[in-house]
A and B are shown apart, each in its own frame.
Chain A
């Protein structure tokens, strides 16, 4: 009996100690070690980006003679060159066009199918779901060659539409999967009510279900957008015209036949990642949580 009380008291003590640590964040030794470790980790993450930022202001000769020194004089020549002559400006625009169109279409087409699977009543819905889900396991490399030869014949190679189609298709499985979950979990009563009021299916879909599935749309949209913004392989294979290249492909343009334009290449790297970093800094919590939620469900 005595012993029992004692342990209980001890436990209480422990609990309160933990509570205090949680609330006031007392700096104990383990915490200090944790912080030191985390700061070092953060340096490993930030330093390479800062380095390339620094180097991007230098000339080719400077880069080789003193890669770590600060640039002798800060000019934006490398940037203007990469942006105009290197056509990164156009590439950014192309990336944007492709990603936005894919995003919009994948949301509409994907959630329509998800609604069809999750809400409409038909026998094949389970099967359809399995069909779409197999798409998640298929690596894009496996369809690269047939798509490439086919698109070349249809005039879709060297055409932004030729990128949008596969991007859209590969975004569908995850969109359908996540959105189906959302639609299935919506209360039946909502739809019943709408039915009574004489709404048709499309009204139910566009006016009730879609607005309620906003979170799902945000999550899938984010995943689609970021995935496509960074996609390299398809874009590299399908697009040959400089005026139609997307950002990740344009980066390799600075490797010429017999020499490489290092300084402009570094500027190009910065141009390629800066928009993402800015958006990320502004909405980091939503982005991280959204992507994680998407990955969990996927």
Chain B
């Protein structure tokens, strides 16, 4: 049997399709992207090596400043809000029996829907002439310009988009936590009740520490997801007003496919890649600690 499993030919046959695809469609383009980031490349004409000029330009790009700020805001917001809301909803749902499935499925629903469609939907809901502001007007309140306001450090549209993304994706965090909580053995809870713990105490002292590895998983999912964030912003504001809601992904798209600055857009792509790698490393180092036996 060992001989069978060490058959070189078989190994090549099994590995080759995935390996070739992966190399040609992912690895080679990544290298090319890094090369382009050192080039002036406008699409119709050939790439011309210009050294670090694109990276220097990154430093003075005002829109990139917004994009980085917004991307970091998203990152922090989605990690924190998904953690809190996800855990909260998971805690509530594990405490009820009737309707648990129904509520769970309703909250999870947007996760499987097209965020392009949902982005358009929310764009209309927050537009001045339709949706929420019309409702507020009926109550005699003048609604703000949800997607156009530019006051403050983190502008209102960013908050709106952040909450919409929380709305859309919190179901996933919730489910991850629920799965982990239901994996904790009953006897542990029983023991804690025997020790006279109340439910909140049990949650704080037993549940939370035990789901810590899951927190790391959920957080890195959220973090990577929020750095890649594109669809909702693209369909809700397209980065407007005045690039104030631009994130790295939308800025890259704009520079690359609206102004055809392929070289410069590649530099943004490299920056995005580095951020993704750093964030993943950071979360795995800091949050992921030893697993408890359950």
Asked whether A and B interact, the reply is yes
CB-CB under 8 A from B51, the residues of chain A are none
Which residues of B are found within 8 Å of A266, using beta-carbon distances?
124
| A232:B33 contact, CB within 8 angstroms | no
A109 touches B21 (CB 8 A): yes
* Contact pattern, A 135-167, Cβ under 8 Å of B = 1, otherwise 0: 101111111111101100000000000000110
Per-position contact with B for A33-50: 1 when CB-CB < 8 Å, else 0?
A: 011011001101110110
Q: When the two chains form their complex, are residues A232 and B115 in contact, meaning their CB atoms are under 8 A apart?
A: yes
User: Is the C-beta of B135 less than 8 angstroms from some C-beta in chain A?
Assistant: yes
Q: Which chain A residues border B272 with CB–CB below 8 Å?
A: 139, 141-142
Does chain A have a CB within 8 A of B280?
yes
Contact between B120 and A195, CB atoms less than 8 A apart: no
Interface-forming stretch among B104-112, B142-150, B285-293?
B104-112
B10 within 8 Å of A by Cβ? Answer: yes
- Give the shortest distance, in Å, between A291 (CB) and chain B (any CB): 7
Chain B proximity of A283: nearest CB distance (Å):
10
Across-interface contacts of B96 in A (CB, < 8 A) = 25, 31, 34-35, 38
Q: Are B11 and A41 in contact (CB under 8 A)?
A: no
B15, B116, B256: the one within 8 Å of A145 (CB): B256
| B14 in complex: contacting residue of A64, A112, A168, A284, CB < 8 Å | A112
| A295:B22 contact, CB within 8 angstroms | no
In the assembled complex, which residues on chain A have CB atoms less than 8 Å from the CB atom of B15? 112-113, 116-117, 128
Return chain A residues, CB-CB under 8 Å to B18.
Answer: 109-110, 112-113, 132, 172, 176
Q: If the complex has contacts A172-B18, A201-B10, A296-B217, are A288 and B196 also in contact, measured as CB distance less than 8 A?
A: no
Residue of A nearest to B111 (CB): A291
Main secondary structure on chain B at its contact with chain A? helix
Q: Is the CB of A165 within 8 A of B21?
A: yes
Which listed segment binds A: B55-63, B72-80, B225-233?
Answer: B225-233
Bound together, the chains give a CA A226 to CA B171 distance in angstroms of 15
Contacts of A249 in B (CB 8 A): 116
Please state if B112 and A226 are interface contacts (CB–CB under 8 Å). yes
Instruction: Say yes or no: B114 contacts A229, CB within 8 Å.
Output: yes
Q: Measured between alpha carbons, how far is A10 from B277 in the docked complex, in Å? A: 52
Chain A interface, DSSP helix/strand/loop, else mixed: helix
Measured in the bound complex, the distance between the Cα atoms of B26 and A196 in whole Å is 40
Q: Are A38 and B214 in contact (CB under 8 A)?
A: no
Binary interface profile of A, 4-34, with partner B (CB < 8 Å = 1, else 0)? Answer: 0001101100110010001001000001001
User: Any chain B CB within 8 A of the CB of A273?
Assistant: yes
B36–A146 touching, CB < 8 Å: yes
CA distance A35 to B15 in the complex (A): 52
Does B269 sit at the interface, judged by CB under 8 A?
Answer: yes
Contacts of A226 in B (CB 8 A): 112
Q: Which of A137, A232, A285 contacts B224 (CB 8 A)?
A: A137
The answer to whether A48 and B107 touch (CB under 8 A), given A10-B196, A18-B193, is: no
Please indicate the chain A residues that have their CB under 8 angstroms from the CB of B131 in the complex.
Answer: 51, 67
- B167 with A169: CB separation less than 8 A: no
Q: Which residues of A contact B6 (CB under 8 A)?
A: 120-122
Whether B125 contacts A295 by the Cβ 8 Å rule is no
Total number of A-B contacts with CB less than 8 angstroms? 277
Q: Could you say which of B21, B104, B217, B221 has the most chain A C-beta atoms within 10 Å of its C-beta?
A: B21
A130 to chain B, nearest CB (A): 12
A276 close to chain B: CB less than 8 A: yes
> Could you mark each residue 94-108 of chain B with 1 if its beta carbon is under 8 Å from any beta carbon of chain A, else 0?
011111010111111
Indicate the member of B14, B18, B19, B116 with the most A CB atoms within 10 Å.
B18
Residue in A110, A172, A248 whose CB lies within 8 Å of B114? A248
Q: Once the chains are docked, how many angstroms separate the CA of A44 from the CA of B265?
A: 38
**Per a CB cutoff under 8 Å, which of A122, A248, A284 touches B105?**
A284
The contact of B167 among A15, A45, A55, by CB within 8 Å, is A45
* Contact A144–B26 (Cβ < 8 Å): no
Q: Is the CB of A169 within 8 A of B2?
A: no
Asked, given contacts A140-B228, A146-B33, whether A277 binds B109 with beta carbons under 8 Å apart, the answer is yes
Is A208 engaged at the interface, CB distance under 8 Å to the other chain? no
> Which B11-41 residues sit within 8 Å CB-CB of chain A?
11, 14-15, 17-19, 21-22, 25-26, 28-30, 32-33, 36
- The answer on a CB contact under 8 Å between B101 and A285 is yes
Does B121 have its Cβ within 8 Å of any Cβ on chain A?
Answer: yes
The residues of B that contact A110 with a CB separation of less than 8 Å are: 18
- Please give me the 6 A-B residue pairs with the lowest Cβ-Cβ distance, nearest first: A116-B14, A113-B18, A146-B32, A146-B29, A143-B29, A248-B116
The interface of chain B, by Cβ under 8 A from chain A, is 1-2, 4-8, 10-11, 14-15, 17-19, 21-22, 25-26, 28-30, 32-33, 36, 43, 89, 92-93, 95-99, 101, 103-118, 120-122, 124-125, 129-131, 134-135, 167, 172, 175-176, 178-180, 190, 193-196, 214, 217, 221, 224, 227-228, 230-231, 234-235, 248-249, 252-253, 256-257, 262, 265-266, 269-270, 272-273, 276-277, 280
28 A/B residue pairs, CB under 8 Å, sorted by A = A31-B95, A34-B95, A34-B96, A37-B92, A51-B131, A112-B18, A113-B19, A132-B22, A137-B280, A138-B273, A139-B227, A141-B248, A142-B270, A143-B269, A144-B269, A145-B33, A168-B21, A169-B26, A201-B7, A232-B114, A232-B116, A233-B253, A251-B116, A273-B118, A284-B105, A288-B105, A295-B176, A296-B214
